[in-house]
């Protein structure tokens, strides 16, 4: 949520180097709710940006895709295990057919020429926002992520900024 990302390539490399030391192996799990749909060359998230692959990817449909719900991507065996053992899955409701159709449409748009154009505009806007904030004297987190935080680092100044923004 800060606009930084985990260096999955380094993390998965470390896991592979040490996996044999653990009887059950090592499982990498990543929540990329702020990356999928908005980060990476084609918006596929941190895995794409770092050119790596994790064992379990968790994300939401509610950020870049604008649809209620979330998802888990993994091997069939891991997904089946989660379905059978997770109390959050057992006691929750699946997304509706309309939400599923909206998610599929959002994914189709994201993969299209139009979607890639919107993603490029997002990149340009993020760069412009970072530069403008820096010119105004604000500290931001450098990088290419579309989330652009402002670090105030002072409670009174933060409160004053919040009041200013709410007033406008």
Each residue of 154-167: pLDDT tens digit?
Answer: 999 999 999 999 99
Residue 30 contacts residue 6 (beta carbons within 8 Å): yes
Domains of the chain: 1-168 (3.40.640.10)
**pTM for the full model?**
0.85
According to the model, what pLDDT value does residue 95 have?
87
- Say if residue 90's pLDDT is above 80: no
Q: Are strands 29-31 and 139-140 parallel, antiparallel or unpaired?
A: unpaired
* Local confidence band at 152 (pLDDT 50, 70, 90 cut-offs): very high
According to the model, what pLDDT value does residue 89 have?
67
CA proximity to 29, closest of 106, 81, 99: 81
Residue 148 contacts residue 133 (beta carbons within 8 Å): yes
Give the residue-averaged pLDDT of 144-153: 93
According to the model, what pLDDT value does residue 3 have?
86
Torsion over CA: 75, 76, 78, 83 (sign): positive
Each residue of 7-35: pLDDT tens digit?
Answer: 999 999 999 999 999 999 999 999 999 99
According to the model, what pLDDT value does residue 38 have?
94
């Amino acid at each position: 949520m800060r606009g930084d990302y985990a260096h999955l390539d380094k993390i998965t490399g470390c896991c592979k180097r040490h996996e044999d030391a653990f009887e059950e192996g090592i499982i990498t799990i990543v929540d990329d709710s702020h990356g999928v749909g908005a980060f990476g060359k084609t918006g596929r998230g941190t895995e794409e940006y770092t050119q790596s692959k994790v064992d379990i990817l968790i994300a939401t449909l509610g950020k870049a895709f604008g649809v209620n719900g979330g998802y888990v991507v993994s091997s069939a065996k891991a997904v089946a295990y989660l379905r059978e053992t997770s109390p959050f899955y057992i006691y929750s409701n699946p997304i509706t057919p309309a939400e599923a159709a909206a998610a599929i449409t959002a994914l189709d748009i994201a993969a299209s020429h139009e979607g890639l154009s919107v993603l490029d505009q997002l990149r340009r806007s993020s760069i412009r926002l970072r530069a403008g904030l820096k010119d105004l004297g604000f500290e931001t987190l450098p990088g290419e992520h579309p989330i652009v935080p402002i670090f105030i680092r002072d409670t009174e100044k933060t409160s004053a900024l919040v009041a200013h923004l709410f007033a406008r």
